[in-house]
Chains A and B, each alone.
Chain A
């Protein structure tokens, strides 16, 4: 009897968690495929009388006077900025992580870089603004890419260092004795061994950039460089004519990170533990 009650409680709790996760997200999807007249009906019928997927079509078309122009530009900017910043940071973080992992005595720098990563962005934003202004980089993708390096770099370095720490060193040492240079050892021996993790770490960095809002809001002003989060916030700020359209943009913007997260399930935890929080 007691076991039975326990089992029932377990399934009820599981159901509650599942519903609480899915309900708000489902509403977002339902809004994106319902007519406004269906949404304002009281009492609400929840499911639309007419499933309407045209909003997605309008967002994915470049025809003039369609919201697609705005959305697709923002999507392009987000992809370019997140990918560009991630690639640059990988190039800088790999040797740095290797150095932290293989040579003792510089951990203070590692901790300092992680600590500064957690300082509120308001503490950097004004000088960065003046800096970008000075070099004419406000409202440009390169400008955002440069700023995002300050977010992704400490995080990637930390994550990769933890990974390099777990790799065996005897092959490296043997290779060094055979006369290979440090960077040859790194490229030919260490990196191939760390390959699976490199991908996961890079995707984490990419997600950080994809999600970033504060700098993007302040350093961009139109479709030349605005990323998806800024565009979505702009949609919600204006007296938008159609909330269903905003919901559709939200759904589309969530697809890449949701897929990445499900795909990275296994590495997620070690990544999170190394400070991969999203503000």
Chain B
């Protein structure tokens, strides 16, 4: 009996091994290597000498560095505000798409488009829309009489970050919409009917039926979005390159510059690790959510 179990165990590992080996080589090993690098003064372009061990110096420097701190706050602002707005718009649009009206299916397809648009194309598209000389946004706002002349949205530190956030929100609220809509569609209609017959108000119906049904998928969507927004790089790179005057320099961009523009691999690695530690908190929350969902799922089955 035991040998059968052992054989099963062996089979399981054999099936799993190729995937695990690839993952260890491409993720676990580089991660450990980055941790090691972060304690050295390694340069990106090797001078042939072995990098020197500097201990916690890179980390201490980062924590006290005003540039690093401001990019951290900028990233948090970007993340919290974008994701909050994505959550609100996402839920509202999902509620709309759950109503019955002519053209609903058409609109459901339309909402998928921003999500499917390649990230870089999205960034480039907004860059062109915000163009100071012939962007559609300047033309539209001027013709509506909202602004009196063309502005350089991405060229001024006051508006650049918010312009980038608009691009991010436009592209990503559909993710929230799709996940929430799936949950809304699984609510049986007669629940609402019964509530109506009982004389429950619209607010009460939302509170007692709709909200409990969407809270799970919504939290999954928001955590996913938070992790992604925290890592934001592509949009920044194409729309503003971190400028003007560092006003859109987020953490990822900061790490990228340290490693690949200033060629300081050691401190770049330390910044990357600090960022990873912050991300790890979010990832843990996501994993707990998934774990709980699965537990509930298997409880439903048996």
Contact = CB atoms under 8 A, between A and B. Distances in A.
B133 interface: yes
Contact of B259 (A39, A125, A213): A125
Interface in A1-29: 7, 10-11, 13-14, 17-18, 20-25, 27-28
Contacts of A113: 19-20, 23, 27
Contacts of B12: 99, 102-103, 105-106
Given A21-B110, A272-B179, A131 B16 contact: no
Contacts, number: 279
B19 A122 contact: no
17 contacts: A7-B101, A14-B101, A17-B96, A20-B170, A27-B125, A92-B18, A103-B15, A111-B291, A115-B287, A116-B31, A122-B255, A122-B271, A126-B269, A157-B19, A213-B233, A237-B238, A277-B227
Contacts of B26: 124, 128, 146-147, 149-150
Which of B30, B33, B114, B272 has the most C-beta atoms of chain A within 10 angstroms of its own C-beta? B30
B128 A11 contact: no
A144 interface: no
B109 interface: yes
B182 A257 contact: no
Interface in A171-228: 182, 207, 210-211, 213-214, 217-218, 228
Nearest to A244: B128
B214 interface: no
A18 B225 contact: no
Contact of B113 (A25, A115, A157, A211): A25
A2 to B, nearest CB: 11
A245 to B, nearest CB: 11
A175 to B, nearest CB: 14
Interface string A249-266: 010011001101110010
B110 A23 contact: no
Interface stretch (B134-142, B193-201, B204-212): B134-142
Interface residues of A, number: 96
A68 interface: no
A63 interface: no
Interface of A: 7, 10-11, 13-14, 17-18, 20-25, 27-28, 31, 39-40, 42-44, 46, 92-93, 95-96, 98-100, 102-103, 105-106, 109, 111, 113-131, 146-147, 149-150, 153-154, 157, 182, 207, 210-211, 213-214, 217-218, 228-229, 232-233, 235-237, 243, 246-247, 250, 253-254, 257-258, 260-262, 265, 268-269, 272-273, 275, 277-279
A154 B252 CA distance: 22
B217 A273 contact: yes
B128 A28 contact: yes
A270 to B, nearest CB: 8
Contacts of A39: 134
Contact of A211 (B96, B118, B139): B118
Interface string B247-275: 00000100110011000010011011101
B272 A123 contact: yes
Contacts of B101: 7, 10-11, 14
Contacts of B165: none
B34 A116 contact: no
Contacts of A265: 108-109, 112
B39 to A, nearest CB: 13
Contacts of A129: 44
B228 A126 contact: no
Contacts of B69: none
A268 B178 contact: yes
